[in-house]
Chains A and B, each alone.
Chain A
Amino acid sequence: MTAPQSFDPAVFRTEPPTLLAVRCPECGVTSFPRRELCPYCTAELVEVEATPLSPQGVVYSYTVVRQAPEGVATPYVLAYVDLPEEELRLLSRLVGFGDMTPDLIGSPVRLVTAPMDDPEDDRLRYAFEATAQGASA
Chain B
Amino acid sequence: MRRVHVVGAGMHRFGKFPPQVTLEVLGAHAATAAMADAGVAPADIDAVYVGHVFGGPVAGQRIAMRVGLSGKPISNHENYCSSGATALREAWIAVGAGICDVALVVGVEKMTDRIKGGVRPDPGDLDAAMGFIFAAGHALSARRYMRDHGASREEIAMVAVKNHAHSVHNPYAQYQKPISLEQVVNARPIADPLGLYDCSPISDGAAAVVIASAEGMRRLSLTGPAPAVAACGLVSGTVLRGLGDINEEDVSARAGQAAYTFAGIGPEDIDVVEMHDCFTIAEIVRLEGLGLLPRGEGARLTMAGHTSLGGPLPVNPSGGLLSRGHPVGATGTAQICELYWQLTGRAGGRQVENARAGLAYCKGGSVSGTDGASVTTVIMTA
Q: Does A82 contact B (CB under 8 A)?
A: yes
Whether B243 contacts A84 by the Cβ 8 Å rule is yes
Binds A, one of B19-27, B112-120, B347-355: B112-120
Residues of chain B from 235 to 251 with CB closer than 8 A to chain A in the complex: 239-243, 246
Whether A67 contacts B239 by the Cβ 8 Å rule is no
Whether B243 contacts A63 by the Cβ 8 Å rule is no
Whether B135 contacts A67 by the Cβ 8 Å rule is yes
Bound CA–CA A66/B139 (angstroms): 11
**Chain A residues, Cβ within 8 Å of B190:** 65-67
Q: Does A69 contact B (CB under 8 A)?
A: yes
Question: Digit string of A62-100 for contact with B (CB within 8 Å is 1, else 0)?
Answer: 111111111010001011101010011101110000001
Most buried by B among A11, A87, A89: A89
Bound CA–CA A47/B241 (angstroms): 22
| Least distance between A62 CB and chain B CB atoms (Å) | 7
Partner of B126, one of A11, A39, A89, A93: A11
Bound CA–CA A60/B193 (angstroms): 15
Whether B189 contacts A66 by the Cβ 8 Å rule is yes
Q: A66-B189, A66-B190, A68-B131 are in contact. Are A80 and B136 (CB under 8 A)?
A: no
Whether A125 contacts B129 by the Cβ 8 Å rule is yes
Question: Digit string of A12-52 for contact with B (CB within 8 Å is 1, else 0)?
Answer: 00000000000000000101010000011000000000000
Whether A65 contacts B191 by the Cβ 8 Å rule is yes
Whether B131 contacts A72 by the Cβ 8 Å rule is yes
Bound CA–CA A78/B192 (angstroms): 10
Question: Digit string of B118-150 for contact with A (CB within 8 Å is 1, else 0)?
Answer: 101000001101111101100111011001000
Most buried by A among B118, B135, B136, B139: B136
Whether A68 contacts B144 by the Cβ 8 Å rule is no
Whether A87 contacts B242 by the Cβ 8 Å rule is yes
Bound CA–CA A8/B125 (angstroms): 12
| Least distance between B272 CB and chain A CB atoms (Å) | 32
Bound CA–CA A31/B127 (angstroms): 14
**Chain A residues, Cβ within 8 Å of B239:** 39-40
Whether A105 contacts B143 by the Cβ 8 Å rule is yes
Partner of B133, one of A7, A65, A100, A117: A65
Q: Does B369 contact A (CB under 8 A)?
A: yes
Bound CA–CA A62/B139 (angstroms): 8
| Least distance between A54 CB and chain B CB atoms (Å) | 13
Given A66-B189, A78-B191, A100-B192, 20 new contacts (CB under 8 A): A8-B126, A31-B369, A39-B239, A60-B243, A61-B144, A61-B147, A64-B189, A66-B188, A66-B192, A67-B117, A67-B118, A68-B131, A78-B132, A78-B136, A80-B140, A82-B243, A89-B240, A91-B126, A93-B131, A105-B143
> Can you give 8 contacting A-B residue pairs, CB < 8 Å?
A39-B239, A60-B243, A66-B190, A66-B192, A67-B118, A68-B117, A69-B117, A93-B131
A-B pairs, top 8 by smallest CB distance, nearest first, are: A63-B139, A39-B239, A61-B144, A69-B117, A61-B140, A64-B192, A63-B191, A65-B191
Binding site for B on A (CB under 8 A): 7-8, 11, 29, 31, 33, 39-40, 60-70, 72, 76, 78-80, 82, 84, 87-89, 91-93, 100, 103, 105, 117, 125
Binding site for A on B (CB under 8 A): 116-118, 120, 126-127, 129-133, 135-136, 139-141, 143-144, 147, 188-194, 239-243, 246, 368-369
